[in-house]
Copies of this chain bind each other. A is one copy, B any other.
Amino acid sequence: MELSPTARVLLGMIRKGRRTGYEIKQLVDVSTRFFWAASYGQIYPELRRLEEAGLIEGEDDPTGGRQRRAYTLTPAGDAALDEWLRSDEEPAYELRDEALLKLFFSGELTKEERLHIVRQMRARHQAVVDGLRSIEEVAAAAGGATYTTLRFGLDMHSWAVDWCRKQEEELE
């Protein structure tokens, strides 16, 4: 059972506990967002597809008159998630960094302009560091693999901030 990119994060989040599409979106935004984003436009249609495929089971669960549908994994969904987690295929890795592209083409710019690009780049990484730090305590309490990945993000973007600073010093 080949899972779509969004299906991977949905199954993973649902295994952590019974979830609605809305809750999954909130969770993604405070945890995997920096290396695996998802939007409502992907989440809701994909939840329907996964239910049709028998990997998850939805149950209407309104709060008052407000509609709500919560999902749990079926045994097939549980197996599909494990199969993906244990698969040997080379995991996808994709990066798109506009600041780096600007830097690549900055050969004909002045020193000040190049410096400006590096500062933009540093600010970008710093913003991610700040965002991750603000949720670090919660993640640290949860501990385990969740916290490990957050640490990776924090350490990597901090490393990038340092790299930019060094670059700025060289240019000054």
Contact = CB atoms under 8 A, between A and B. Distances in A.
Contact of A145 (B32, B94, B106): B106
B124 A35 contact: no
A104 to B, nearest CB: 5
Contact of A101 (B36, B98, B106): B36
Contacts of A31: 104
B145 A101 contact: no
Contact of A97 (B35, B98, B121, B160): B35
Q: Within the oligomer, what is the number of copies of this chain?
A: 2
A91 B120 contact: yes
Interface in A140-172: 144-146, 148-149, 152, 155-156, 159-160, 163, 167
Interface in A20-79: 31-32, 34-37
Contact of A106 (B5, B85, B106, B156): B85
Given A93-B124, A102-B85, A144 B35 contact: no
B15 A100 contact: no
A139 to B, nearest CB: 11
Interface string A78-112: 00010011101011111111111111111111000
A73 B37 CA distance: 36
Contacts of A95: 34-35, 94-96
